[in-house]
């Protein structure tokens, strides 16, 4: 008996493997289409928390700006007290109620 008689021919499976390859590719793409939005939503901070943090940031920035202007004003005032004798004399008369010898100060209330 020749060997060729007992050999079995494999069925034509090229059509079936092509279908399986396309189905597998479709499933992979479908899986990616489901995973990517989930990852984006899972790792994105919630909108309400983000809005609250932005409001807090705006509040802190405005407070910082106010403190910076106060700092500049106080630095200027310190320089005037240290270097300007006329300003120092004016502040002494106004705030400490001081006067020079022989001088009378009249204050009027509104």
Q: Which residues of the chain have pLDDT under 70?
A: 1-16
DSSP 44: S
- Closest of 71, 77, 74, 109 to residue 90, by C-alpha: 77
Asked if residues 23 and 17 have their Cβ atoms less than 8 Å apart, the reply is: no
Residue 7: predicted pLDDT: 57
Residue 48: predicted pLDDT: 83
Residue 14: predicted pLDDT: 57
Residue 76: predicted pLDDT: 95
Torsion of CA 72, 74, 77, 83, to 10 degrees: -80
Dist CA 12 CA 24 (whole Å): 20
DSSP of 20-35, one letter per residue?
HHHHHHHHHHHHHHHH
């Amino acid at each position: 008996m020749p060997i060729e008689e007992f050999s079995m021919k494999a069925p034509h499976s090229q059509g079936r493997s092509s279908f399986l390859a396309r189905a597998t590719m479709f499933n992979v793409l479908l899986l990616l289409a489901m995973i990517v939005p989930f990852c984006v939503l899972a790792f994105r901070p919630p909108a309400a928390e983000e809005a609250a943090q932005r409001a807090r940031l705006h509040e802190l920035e405005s407070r910082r700006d106010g403190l910076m202007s106060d700092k500049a004003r106080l630095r200027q005032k310190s320089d005037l007290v240290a270097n300007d004798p006329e300003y120092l004399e004016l502040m002494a008369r106004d705030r400490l109620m001081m006067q020079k010898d022989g001088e009378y100060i009249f204050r009027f209330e509104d």
